A and B are shown apart, each in its own frame.
Chain A
Amino acid sequence: QKEVEQDPGPLSVPEGAIVSLNCTYSNSAFQYFMWYRQYSRKGPELLMYTYSSGNKEDGRFTAQVDKSSKYISLFIRDSQPSDSATYLCAMSAYRRDTGRRALTFGSGTRLQVQP
Chain B
Amino acid sequence: NAGVTQTPKFQVLKTGQSMTLQCAQDMNHNSMYWYRQDPGMGLRLIYYSASEGTTDKGEVPNGYNVSRLNKREFSLRLESAAPSQTSVYFCASSDRLDNQPQHFGDGTRLSIL
Q: Which of A's residues lie within 8 Å of B, judged by CB? A: 4, 6, 8, 32, 34, 41-46, 88, 90, 92, 98, 100-108
Contacts and interface: CB of A to CB of B under 8 A. Distances in A.
Interface of B: 4, 40-45, 56, 59, 90, 92, 98-107
Contact of A43 (B45, B59, B100, B106): B106
B42 A4 contact: yes
Contacts, number: 51
B106 A101 contact: no
A45 B106 CA distance: 10
Given A42-B106, A43-B4, A43-B105, A88 B100 contact: no
A101 B100 contact: yes
B42 A105 contact: yes
A105 B44 CA distance: 7
28 contacts: A4-B42, A6-B42, A8-B40, A34-B100, A41-B106, A42-B106, A43-B4, A43-B104, A43-B105, A44-B43, A44-B90, A44-B104, A45-B104, A88-B42, A90-B43, A90-B100, A92-B98, A92-B100, A100-B56, A100-B99, A101-B99, A102-B45, A103-B100, A105-B42, A105-B43, A105-B44, A106-B42, A107-B42
Contacts of B104: 43-45
Contacts of A105: 42-44
Contacts of A103: 45, 100-101
Contacts of A43: 4, 90, 92, 104-107
Contacts of A41: 106-107
The 10 closest A-B pairs by CB, nearest first: A43-B104, A105-B42, A105-B43, A107-B42, A44-B104, A43-B106, A43-B105, A43-B90, A42-B106, A107-B40
A48 B56 CA distance: 26
A7 to B, nearest CB: 12
Nearest to A44: B104
Contacts of B40: 8, 107
B45 A108 contact: no
